[in-house]
Chain A
C-alpha cells in the first residue's frame, strides 16, 4: 500500500489518454504521407487540370497532421 501512496489515478489515466492520442496522431501523420504519395500515382492514372490541387491538399494534410502530432507529443511531456 505504501507503494501506491502519492499515486494519482486521475493523472495516470490522463497520461494514458495523452499517449493514445499521440500514437493516433503519429498513425494519422503516416497515413497522410501514404495518401499524398497515392495521390501522385492516381494523378498519373488520370491526369486533369486539377491534379496540382489534389497534391496541394495532400500537402496541407501532411502539415496539419504533423503539427497535431508535434503538439500531442509536447502535451505529453509538458
Chain B
C-alpha cells in the first residue's frame, strides 16, 4: 500500500500508519492505514467562542459597575473571585468537551475495513464499520472556499452492507483518501479473484 508520509501526531487529523493507536473491536494483526478526523480548521468557530466567553466577565464587570456603582461593595471580593473562577471553569469545560468530541470522532481505514466513530454529544456515540469487500463506490466532494483553501471535504462511501453509506466529513486530502480506499478495493478484489481462481483450479 502506497501511503503518504505524515507526522505521527496523536492529535493530527490525517495520520498515515498511526503508531500506538488502537480502536474498539480491532482484530488481531489488523493493520491501521489511516486515522482521520475533521480538519483542524473546523474547530476555529468554537475556539473563537471560548475567547469571547473568557472576555465576558471584563465587559460584565464594567457594565455592572456602570449600572450599579455600589454593586461590588455588597459582594465580597472573595465571592466575586469564586464566581469569576466558576465562569472560567465552565468556559474551559466547554472547550474540553468540544475538543473531546472532535478528537474521538475519528475515521479509521485498516487493511480489512472502514470504521466511522461519531460522537454527536458526549453521551451519544454512533459506530459504523464496513469491510473493504462491501465497499461499492467511493466519491469525494470539496465545496466552499475554506474547503478549497485548506483542502478538506467529504468522502462518501457506498456500501453493500445494511448501513448503505459511510461519510467521512471534513477530512483533509479527500482525494488521497479516495485513492487509498480505491487501492484497497483493488487489492481485496485481486485477492478475492485469486481465491476464486485457485478454488476453480483445485
Contact = CB atoms under 8 A, between A and B. Distances in A.
Nearest to A72: B82
Contacts of B125: 45
B64 interface: no
A19 to B, nearest CB: 13
A65 B119 CA distance: 24
Interface string B144-184: 00000000000000000000000000000000000000000
Contacts of B83: 21
B106 interface: yes
Secondary structure class of chain A's binding surface, majority of residues:
helix
Contacts of B52: none
A42 B100 contact: yes
A39 interface: yes
Interface in B3-26: 10-11, 20-24
A54 B86 contact: no
B72 interface: no
Interface of B: 10-11, 20-24, 74-76, 78-79, 82-83, 85-86, 89-90, 92-93, 96-97, 100, 103-104, 106, 117, 119, 122-123, 125, 127
A46 B104 contact: yes
B97 A35 contact: yes
Given A38-B122, A46-B24, A46-B104, A57 B96 contact: yes
Contact of B24 (A18, A21, A44, A57): A44
Nearest to A54: B100
B23 A47 contact: yes
A12 to B, nearest CB: 12
Given A25-B86, A50-B11, A61 B20 contact: no
Interface of A: 10, 14, 18, 21, 24-25, 28, 31-32, 34-35, 38-39, 42, 44-50, 54, 57, 61, 64-65, 68, 71-72, 75
Contacts of B97: 35
Nearest to A75: B79
24 contacts: A14-B75, A28-B93, A31-B93, A35-B96, A35-B122, A38-B100, A38-B123, A42-B119, A45-B24, A45-B104, A46-B22, A46-B24, A46-B103, A46-B106, A47-B22, A47-B23, A61-B89, A61-B92, A61-B93, A61-B96, A68-B85, A68-B89, A75-B78, A75-B82
